[in-house]
Amino acid sequence: MFRAFLYRVAPNQLTSLDEKTLFECALHSDTNATSPLCKVDSFLWIDVSAPSASEIEALARRFQLDPQILEDIRSSEGRPKLHDYDAYLYLIFHAIALVLDEDERLDLQQLEIDCLLGPDWILTIHGQPVPQFEDLAKRWVKKPDWMRNGPPQLLYELMDSVLDGYFPVLDSMDEKIDNFEDRLYNSATLEAESGSMSGEIFVLKRALLEIRHIAVPTRDVVNVLLRRDAQEGGRNFAAFQDLYDHASRIVENIDTYREILGGALDAYLAIESNRMNAVMKRFAAYSIILLVPTLIAGVYGMNFGDLPAAHGFWVSISAMVGSIGALGIYFRWRKWL
């Protein structure tokens, strides 16, 4: 699905282009264009969702994309990165969302966004619609002069809207961690859920790790954009600095949540170990209590074929009962029973 907007600064006009007009229009950066539609400070945004192979080839011809970029788009590179191809920048970042799987557990979904930034155009390609881009397009239509600073400003808004979507996901994980801690110190709940809580903790730890694997490289990408803008005069330095702060805060929150979750897991394992030790103590106490009467009965049973009262029948019975009672009192006093 194609969606394209042509913004002209001079009349402050934002025009929506269809697919035919998009491939016919000439840009200011086109060397062979006799009458470019994009004058200086005007630019084009093309947003493509779930493109077919023919659409990708058409875009590659229109913007003279490097074959390596086409391979990355087709293969879903996966890791955020930034490459400078002189005529344009190619970068990858990700949108994320949390959904519930069939077992009612949190499942992290990632959506790769391939973005190309030219002098007067910006191209975004993704496998499915991005809600943040939908909202951004609606706001831009209502206020065209919002993007007067050109493609770098639009790039900032695109990445900022995506990174802002990380915080609700992290807030949901924070609530989940708080829930773990509440259940962890509720002995009745812990005993009833001892088998499932550890699995939920590991699922959440894996999700945090997956977010970190894309958040850290994304922060590095923003850092490169920040340094490039500073070298070119710093026109959008404040915007990219804000973007870098967002990315850094995301990474810091992830590290904090992983540390808290690791502590919760350690506490859970310690509580489970203590409960297991208590069970083993109880089993050991019962074993010892039964051992003494068994020993007495075994000694008398091996030495006498017929145990008459004269040989201490009632004495042995009394010793068995007495040992059971004495050991029971002793282990209860030691809180093993």
Greater model confidence, 274 or 80: 80
d(C-alpha 95, C-alpha 162), whole Å: 6
CA distance 261 to 177: 7
What is 1-144's CATH number, 3.30.2130.10, 3.30.460.20, 1.10.150.120, 3.20.20.140? 3.30.460.20
Of 7-21, 145-159, 242-256, 284-298, the range with the highest mean pLDDT is: 242-256
Between the alpha carbon of residue 266 and those of residues 88, 106, 188, 208, 280, the distances in Å are 49, 21, 19, 17, 21
- pLDDT score at 91: 93
Supply 133's token pair: 């881009």
What pLDDT band is residue 124 in, cutting at 50, 70 and 90? very high
Segment 39-45 shows an average pLDDT of: 74
How many percent of the chain have pLDDT more than 90? 26
Give pLDDT tens digits for 164-187: 999 999 998 888 888 887 877 775
Query: Does 253 have pLDDT greater than 90?
Result: yes
Residues 1 and 22: their CA atoms lie apart, in Å, by: 13
The pLDDT of residue 35 = 47
CA distances from 300 to 242, 306, 310, 321, 324 (A): 87, 10, 13, 15, 17
**pLDDT bracket for residue 218 (50, 70, 90):** very high
Can you give the length of the chain in residues? 337
**CA distances for 271 relative to 194, 202, 283, angstroms:** 10, 17, 19
pLDDT for 10: 74
Single pTM value for the model: 0.78
SS3 for 30-78 is CCCCCCCCCCCCCEEEEEEECCCHHHHHHHHHHHCCCHHHHHHHHHCCC
**329 or 157, which is more confident?**
157
